[in-house]
Each structure stands twice: as structure tokens, then as C-alpha cells.
Structure 1
Amino acid sequence: MTVKMEASEGGMPHNTLMIYGIVVAVVGTYLTYLNVVTGIAVFSFFGGIAAIAALWWGSDTIKHLCSYGLGTGVPSAGMVAFGSGAIAMIAGTKFGLASPIVTLILAAILGAVIGYIANSIINMNIPVMVTSLMEMAVVGAMTMLGFAAMCTGTFMFSGLVVGGMTLSMEPSAGAAGGAQTFLVTVLPEFAGSLIGGAALAVIFFLGAMALQHPFNACLGPNESQDRTLMLAIEVGFLSMFVVAVMSYAFLDLVSATVGVAISLIGWFYSYKQYIALSKRDAYDWLDAKPIREVGGDQ
């Protein structure tokens, strides 16, 4: 038996949100390929925009799933999303230019399997379980892929596991005339890469917290869709800022700084919008006049 707690009604239909989220996430990830086309990494920030789009959509998915309960499943839903999404993301990056599409498909399949197990074997009996876990697995995978592309400038596997190259020189057989020759070998370095250096683990938790926080924070009798989604954008930009700082280890100074600047501008704007929406909802709920602030209009 399940009991559904009603969340906000109205607003943008969930399927519309999903379409927008998928399109922007996939297109944004592909736009990072402009780094390869142009030879500069300044377009890496598009990966962060792609990740935010996925988080924006995912926060609404969590609302639909976790309205069947007391809200205590919100954090675990975020971890399930990124746990399954991480598997799909790492496997999907092996497919070259098709990586974003393959990642999306693999994540959807994995999410459907997990949803089926949860509903039909564990008997959680939540009507939207299978579709919601499918969506959240895709959200987790596309968020990690987007942030990984922003951090390294690529969404392909080799760029995520190889941090650089070193030269190995070994003496070889002497040449004619007694001259000494050396065998030079180029060796890849893995420890300084996104995956080898465990930076992907940071992205995992940044994304998981950004996914689970909006509905967890806005949950209540006066939860409104626009406020929840704006908070998703705000925490998305905040996570993007951390990823942008991490990108200094992988990108050139200018490209990383562009990511930092865009994430800070986006965070500042979305934070102001979220505070305004919070005041609006608080005013409506209390049926009282807004508190007048010093130096402000309200």
C-alpha cells in the first residue's frame, strides 16, 4: 500500500520538462566537441549547462516519485540516480561521438531494470517507480557526463582516463661507430586524469546533492513548481562553479576561467530569483504583508 502526498499542481507538464531537459543535456554535451573542432577548450562550459538542464528536469522527477511517501526517500533517490548513472556514463563514453546518445540509452535501460526490481520484486508498489527510476538514471548519467566534459573538455573515454603523457628513455643496442642510441617510449599517465585522480567521485556527490536538494528543501504544503525548479538551477550553477574550479587542473587558464565566470553569473541570478520566489510564496502562505527590509522595496 502506498500513500501519495500531493505536490504542487499546475505549472509546466512533466513530459514537457523531460523533453527540454533531454534536448538541452544532449545538445549541450555535444557542443563541448567544439573544443576539438576549434582546437581551444573554451567551449567546455557547455557541459555544465547540459548538466544543469538534466538536474532541472530531474528535480521534477524526484518530486513525482517522492510524493508517494514522507519525503524521506529524496536523498536515497538522488544516490540511486547517480549510482546507476555512473555505470551508464562510464560505459557510454567508449562509443566516441555517439557517447552522449549511448549513455542516455544505457542509463534508461539500467534505470528500468532497477525500477522493475524495486516495484515487482521488493514490492514497493509505487505506480511511477519504473518510469521515474528510468528518468533519474538518465539524469544522473547526463549530469556526470556534462560535468566531466566541462572539467576535461571532452566526453570521450580516453580524455577522462588519460591525464597526460610521459617519455621513457631506455638505452638500446649501440649503433655503428660506437654511438649510444636510446629507445624513446610515450607512456600515458592515468593518476592525473578525471577518473584516475578520483575527481569523478567529487562530480558524483556534487550532482547527487544538487539533484536531491531542491524538492527536499521546498517540500511542504505550499511547494510550487517554479520555486523548486529555480532552486534546482541555483544549486546546479553552484555545483558547476566547483567543477569549473576543478577544471583548472585539466584545462588552460582562459577556458577554466570562462567556466568560473559563467557559473558565478548564473548562480547569482538564479539565487536572487529563488529568494524572490520564496518571499512570494511565504507572503501568500501567511496571508500577511511582506516584511519591509532596510533599503528595499519590500
Structure 2
Amino acid sequence: MSAGGSADGAAAGAVSSTMLLALGIVGGLICIYLSGFLGDLIGPVIAAIGAVLAIIWGSDAIRRVASYGLGTGVPSIGYMSLSVGVISALAGLSLATVFKIGLLGPIAGFVVAVIIGAIIAIVATKIVGMKIPIMLQCTVEIAGAAMLSILGFSVAIAGSYDMMAIYEHVVATGFIAVLFIMCTMAIQHPFNACLGPNEDQVRTLKCAASTAFLSMTLTGLMSVTTGGLGWFIVFIVGLIGWIVSFRAFVLASCNDAASTRWAGLWPNVEE
């Protein structure tokens, strides 16, 4: 049964889930890899855009799998998948360091995320007994999106996907914990915010874009610690993206609503 859309999730949407998957994986990886060749000024913003693409993809996967229930499992699968994302990103970069192949890191991390996500989904369906037909596919997708979003923002902060740079600027500083919470909220919030009988995929994706760019804005502020002007470009691009996407989301919400009314601010005196 579905409370937030059709039973298959994708059928009611106007955007192909396959296109979003390709955009998240290919776009996310390409942006992360390109960042290593574009210098300290442009590289970070490209890596952050890769994370934005991954978040939008992950939000759509959350929408599809959570549409089979009442939406109560969104936080659970969100935090679980982002835990997989953090572990996978660091594991992939560590493997690249061990084998001394720097370019291996992002792809290795993505593969690890897919494998762990598949194992979790198999346990959930075969042992726990969750009867969700697309559980395997969506859990794998969310885990992959989580890994790419964590790594993309980490690269934006550190300026590189080298393990030592990530450790110094993201892990040792504690920013990894901020990214964990921030990316979790960015991926899981859109469907929770739009959940309801008239939930619409396009409107949900507009909300996902706004949470992704807001996360990018905060990432720009965190990357101040690495020096240079790259942080400012990440911050400005993220801020502009958030303003545009959030405005689009608000307009879509108003257009889809039966009516809207300004209710005023909360009272100054406690009752």
C-alpha cells in the first residue's frame, strides 16, 4: 500500500528514475574525478555539484521505496544508508592508498557501498521479512548516493580525494560527523516534507535540490579551514542554487495547494 504515491513509485513520476540514477552515478563520479584536475579554485565546486547530483538521486530512491509504507521508515533507511556511505567512502580511499592507485578511490568506495547496501537489503527481505519488492534496488541506490554525497562534499572541503587530505581536513576536524547528519537530512527530508496523498515527484525533487544546495552552502563554510578562495565559490554557487530551487519548490507547493493563506506570526504572549 502507498501513502505517498503510486505503489511502484516511479510510475506516478514525471522524471525517469533511470535517468536520475545515471545522473547520480555518472555525474557524481565524473564531478569528483574532474575536481582533481581543475585546481583549488574550481575543483571544490565541481566536487560539490557531484554531491548535489547524488543527493537528488538518493532522494528519488527514498521516495520510491518509502512509498510502499506510511513514510515512517524514511529516517531509518536514511541514517543506515549514510552510515554505509561514510564507511564505504573511507574504505574506498583506504584501498586506493594501500594499492597506491589514487584514481581507484571513488570507484572503489562506490563498489563497497553497493555491496554493503545489497547485503543489508537481503537481510531485510529474507531474514527480517520486509515485503518490499524494490527493497534491494533502492537500498543499493541510496547507499551509493550516500557514498557519493559524502565523498563529494569531503573533496570540496579537502580539495582532493587523497586519503591523507580527507583525513586531515574532514575526519580529524570532525567535519565527517557534520557531513553524515547533513547528507542524511538532505536525502531523507524531501519525501518526508512532501509526503501525502497528493505527493508529486517533480515537487519532491525540487525540494531535494534545495536541500542539496543548502548542504553545499554549508560545505562552503566548512571548507574555509583549507584556505584559498575555493570555499567562497562553493558557498556562492550553493547559495544561488538554494535560492532558485527553494523558490521553485515553494511556487510548486502553492500551485498544487487548494488554497493558501498567511496565518500570521506566533503570539508574543504565552497563553
Provide the TM-score with structure 1 as the length reference: 0.81
User: 1:263 aligns to what?
Assistant: 238
Question: Once superposed, what is the RMSD of the aligned Cα atoms?
Answer: 1.6
Q: Which residue of 1 aligns with 2:171?
A: 195
Which residue type is aligned with residue 18 of structure 2? N
- Hey, what does 1:19 align to over in structure 2? 22
1:281 aligns with 2:256: yes
**SS of residue matched to 1:245:** helix
Q: Is the 8 A contact 2:88 2:147 kept in 1?
A: yes
Counterpart for residue 52 of structure 1: 52
Cα distance in 2 between the residues matched to 1:226 and 1:205? 25
Q: Do the aligned partners of residues 32 and 274 (structure 1) sit closer, same or farther apart at CA in structure 2, a change above 3 Å counting? A: same
Indicate the structure with greater strand content.
1
Q: Percent identity?
A: 35
Query: For the Cα contact (< 8 Å) 2:65–2:138, is it kept in 1?
Result: yes
Alpha-carbon displacement from aligned partner over 1:236-264 (angstroms, at most 9, x marks no partner): 11111111000001131x11111111111
Aligned equivalent of 1:244, options 208, 213, 220: 220
The partner residue of 1:148 within 130, 154, 161 is 154
Report the count of equivalent residues: 251
2:215 and 2:48 map into 1 onto residues whose CA distance is 9
Local SS of the residue matching 2:103: helix
**Cα deviation, residue 277, structure 1:** 0.8
Higher mean displacement: 210-219 or 271-280:
271-280
Question: In structure 2, how many angstroms separate the alpha carbons of the residues matched to 1:79 and 1:226?
Answer: 24
**Shift, 1:5, TM fit:** 3.6
Report the secondary structure of 1:149's partner residue: helix
What one-letter code is carried by the residue in structure 2 that aligns with 1:125?
K
The question of 1:106 aligning with 2:109 is answered no
Residue 6 (structure 1) shift? 5.5
Give secondary structure in 2 for the equivalent of 1:126.
coil
2:103 pairs with one of 93, 97, 101:
97
- Whether contact under 8 Å (1:152, 1:251) holds in the other structure is no
**Higher relative helix content:** 2
| Amino acid in structure 2 at the alignment position of 1:246 | M
Structure 1 residues 242 and 10, CA, compared in 2 at 3 Å: closer, same or farther?
closer
5+ long unaligned stretches in structure 2: 7-11, 97-101, 263-271
Select the structure of larger CA radius of gyration.
1
Gaps of 5+ in 1: 163-192, 293-298
Structure 2 partner of 1:7: 5
Aligned mates of 2:251, 2:235 — CA distance in 1: 24
Structure 2 vs 1, CA of residues 49 and 123 (structure 1 numbering), >3 Å: closer, same or farther? same
Q: Is the 8 A contact 2:27 2:53 kept in 1?
A: yes
Counterpart in the other structure of 2:189? 213
The 8 Å contact of residues 158 and 166 in structure 2, kept in 1 or not, is answered as yes
Q: Separation in 2 of the partners of 1:33 and 1:266?
A: 23
